[in-house]
Amino acid sequence: MDKYPMTPEGHKRLETELKRLKEIDRPENVKAIEDARAHGDLSENAEYKFAKEQQSIIAGRIEYLEDRISRAEVIDKSRLVGDRVVFGATVVLENLATGEIVTYRIVGEDEANIDQGTISVTSPIARGLIRREAGDQVTIQTPSGPKRYEVSDVTF
């Protein structure tokens, strides 16, 4: 059984979403199904079909979240020290071809959001950075081709 690394914040977000799905969304969906049934013939009832589809989506998401939460390996970055890139690290990179500076925080799969500067530990960039130190140069295979970076800084 695989563990899923995640930050305490990411774990809390998943728990909050699961609670909302169980306590708000699912009961509202049950009510919508009941209301749609009251309209009569179910074979041509678009509201009923939509509510049943929503029920399936909610059930699937609940199952997914329960699985992720049960297999979560919560890693508190405040306990991490050192100079190497590991899960939870914030890494400053310089693109050696363009001079562009980017900063990424390495987080769990469910937490990644490139717009917020977080990347999944399973992403090509994160995999290429793990165990590197400030000053190291690395070539990373990206969807747009290989890119060379220098690790400028690693913080937690």
Length of the chain: 156
pLDDT of residue 40: 75
Q: Which two tokens stand for residue 122?
A: 């399973």
pLDDT of residue 83: 82
pLDDT of residue 1: 61
pLDDT of residue 38: 85
pLDDT of residue 39: 78
| Measured distance between the N- and C-terminal CA atoms of the chain, rounded to whole angstroms | 28
pLDDT of residue 81: 75
Q: What is the full per-residue pLDDT of the chain (156 aa) written as tens digits?
A: 688 999 999 999 999 999 999 999 999 999 999 988 887 777 778 889 999 999 999 999 999 999 999 999 999 877 777 788 999 999 999 999 999 999 999 999 999 999 999 999 999 999 999 999 999 999 998 888 899 999 999 988
| Cα–Cα distance measured from residue 75 to residue 4, given in angstroms and rounded to the nearest whole number | 10
pLDDT of residue 36: 87
Q: Which residues pair with 133 in a beta bridge?
A: 84
pLDDT of residue 23: 97
pLDDT of residue 96: 92
Sequence-distant (6+) residues with CB within 8 A of 118 are 104, 105, 106, 107, 111, 112
Integer CA distances (angstroms), 31 to 24, 72, 133, in order: 11, 32, 55
